[in-house]
Amino acid sequence: MEPFGKLKSKGALMNNLLSIVLFLSFSLGGTSYLVFGSDHDDNSDIKSFGYNHNVLKLSNFALGLGGDYSANLSGDSYFNSYDNLDLVSIYLLPSFKITNKVAIWSSIGFSLVANDSDIESLCSQGFPDSSSDNPSGWEGTTEDCKLKSGLSYGFGLHYILVDKFGIGARYVSQPLELTSYEGHFGYEDMERINLYLSYQF
């Protein structure tokens, strides 16, 4: 179980993100979106939403700044099969208008782990040490194990349906790495192809 202080800091991070999203949506205007679909493990319980706002807009080009929160991501770690990994990210979003209704975009940003699905806790209880005669690993604390994300990227297509509503498809990749007392262990990148609905404020 995670220490109370760590849970509190993660809760504060999410509250701050939601507050910023709501503030920007109603005060500056922008585009919010709700993602549905599955991840690379066919997990259909993903809950992902985000917001972006154009900071530069030309005739056929725009540069946006946005944030995204994805919950219930699934995969396999060294310790368990997880199904409630949460990632939060901020990103730059250059987009190019093809027609009045169709645009293509790409994104590059940085992701953080908001909920580690108990991977850090299980790691600290006994990391498997294959280089020694101790198959049960070593004893440690959650400070010895950190699950991190990092540089993320994506691209997609957006189509305006009617008025302020749109639909799109996207590919997003977010890295995962476990840093522990034993070293660095890369995970398979969290890759997703999803459909999404958008609304422009």
Query: Strand, helix or coil at 2?
Result: coil
**How confident is the model over 30-73, as pLDDT tens digits?**
898 998 765 555 554 567 889 898 889 999 999 999 999 888 78
92, 109 contact by CB (below 8 A): yes
Domain borders along the chain are: 4-200
CA distance 83 to 86: 9
Query: Strand, helix or coil at 46?
Result: coil
Q: Which CATH number fits domain 4-200: 2.40.160.20, 2.160.20.60, 1.20.120.1200, 3.40.50.300?
A: 2.40.160.20
Q: Which two tokens stand for residue 108?
A: 């590059």
**How confident is the model over 64-119, as pLDDT tens digits?**
999 998 887 877 766 667 778 889 999 999 999 999 999 999 999 999 998 888 87
Cite the DSSP H helix spans in the chain: 4-27, 119-125
DSSP character at residue 143? G
CA distance 144 to 182: 9
The amino acid at residue 79 is F
